[in-house]
Structure 1
Amino acid sequence: MKIKSIKAYHVVQPFVDGPYRMSKGRVADCFDAVIVAITSDGGVTGWGEMAPLGNFYSAAFPAGTRAGVPEIAPHLIGQDPRGFAGIGRLMDTVFKGHPYVKSALDMACWDLAARAADVPLVTMLGGRESDMAETYRVVTHGTLDQMAALARRIIAEGCRRLQVKVGGNVHDDIERVTTVAAAVPKGTVIFCDANAGWTPYQARQFADATRGIDYTFEQPCTTLDENMSVRRMLDKPMVLDESVTSLGEMLEIHRRGAADGLTLKISRLGGVTQTRLIRDVAVDLGFMITVEDTGGAEIDTAAMAHLSLSTPAERRLHAIAFHEWVTVRTARNAPPVTGSHMGIPDGPGLGIDVDPGLLGEPFFEIA
């Protein structure tokens, strides 16, 4: 099997609920996605998607993806898409760094290979561990009344896991989390995610003032040293997200005992290949795992679902249904969401039926 053609599409995906707000005044109105289609000489097409959350969240930005994919794609023509490690080495050779640019291309190769083998992608990722993954939803920055109302609405819609955005003014964040916790039923799972928005001093202030609330601390500070200084005094579980940028960084987190859980972002790690590798090693090292991404619609959510459901259930934290965040569709079907759980679409590969007519004209193609 050889790669015969590659197309890339630019799809803007506005948010259903309006602007997405996080610490330090960072705001995004949409996911700005690049979707890639890779077709083999046998006529099978695989799909991949990458969508940064603005220019501020990761070391990635939408225009960079659109510029980078055409630089890499010509080198992949004629390659075997099933040789994931070799494809990865080739992309790293011809285009140094910028793993987010390579993510959609890598994802499309996995989808293509699974479709050609007529098996769901989850089978190639280690096998299906359960039928559904529990999902969480986000309570973004807002007034106390807005955040409490959103939390109550999420709970009323059947979700039992909340990620509350903090990382701003510490005293305001203490009020935010206290108000949200009081607005939801006892037993609701709460993650307080600062998105690396605090100094260690601020994170310790927050942790000390909220000892009476049951939550998991997520990425309070930027560097591993800063997070480790908070970890030493913390009496709650800690999850790291932005700190997990490679296998080496994950191993350093483990060596230092800096976290109980990890959030693995597919695009930050460069695609499905590296995400699966890091996930498998992290599971063996005893971490709790969330697999998600920086954004996207049906394609990226499907990849997240397959990676989540091939993670052992006892090591899986939760998942997220990004395709429900946006107002546009990219496929005729989607990962099924029932209440607070998400599954995998039926069918080979990612299992979704991508509709090119929903994507517009490609901004790049090569054969």
Structure 2
Amino acid sequence: MVAGETSGDLLAGLLLDGMQRQWPQIQSFGIGGAHMQQRGFNALWPSERLAVHGYSFEVLMRLWDIVSIRKQLRTQLLQDRPDVFVGIDAPDFNLGLEQDLRASGIKTVHFVCPSIWAWRPERVQKIRSAADHVLCLFPFEPDLLAKHDIAATYVGHPLAQVIPMKPDRAAARGRLGLSNDHPVLALLPGSRRAEVQYIAKPFMQAATLLRQEFSELQVVLPAVPALYEKLQALSHELGIADWLKIVQGQSHDVLAACDCTLIASGTATLEAALFKRPMVVSYNMHPLSYRLMQRKQLQPWVGLPNILCSEFVVPELLQDQASPRALADAVAQWLDNSDQARLKIHAVEQRFTALHQELCKDTTTLSAHAIQKVLSS
């Protein structure tokens, strides 16, 4: 198994639960993080080694290390020949590896259909040659893949099972030491080092502006352990360490506790939607990387909640639009205690509840059964 970043590690850990029920003596190894290792996964390399940000220059700076890891892993897999290889997302790393393994007769499963419906549709050819089977998180994906002769199964989104339909906000605030009497803003600037470089500072500056308007606003930021000290240092540099609460991990508690979130585009936006939280989606990267991505974008939305709902349910502020002032103004509309704001929040909560119900399947069991069919074919 290979999971390339924090979100992939979480998905892979849940998938391992189902596989271990199906095959109690299973042995798993490859590239993974803490969630996978907690299930007995043998991580030859940590998933953080594959985490990159952007589309061109940021990747090139890390390219040699990533190519070296993939070459070493390919050599080991072709020698040890596992019963099945499961690539968890990370298509730029996994699809090429899967192609080589499948060509040698090793069964391959790709978990999380690459977003060919959002951008880079040419990738479908590579998926067809790389994967014996694709496990899909969203209900429309198997039919789309079937048109290209790619076998796939809709397994739901495992996070929809993990996250409660009605999150307990008061309990989450208690665990985080937050007051129930004052509003809470969650800052989620991403889990990659380069994301923090581009996104964390304007997020913190936006929170500073919001504190001027909402003096009792509580602001909390869940940091992956590897970035905790960097984010703490940035908060001290900006002079906000006395009121910005930075916690290690606990992103689900933070999303359950907050009234709204300022959040980087990615899997975390879907988590926020499953917690039924209003949000402002943002992203920032190297300008040339952004222009290249724009050319391959097929839909007007980048945030998963908006893509899945096929409309701008929540605002998106990207690249040059994502100034601290603009971010603060967008968040303020959710924090405004007016009748109009409350009606809008209620509508968003209803929309996200319906989305949660649609995505809530027995993902671990469905995935294990699909993998069993691949092994039996």
| Fold similarity call, TM over 0.5 | no
Instruction: Identify the structure with bigger relative contact order (alpha carbons < 8 Å, sequence gap 6+).
Output: 1
Give the strand-richer structure, 1 or 2.
1
Give the helix-richer structure, 1 or 2.
2
TM-score by length of 1: 0.27
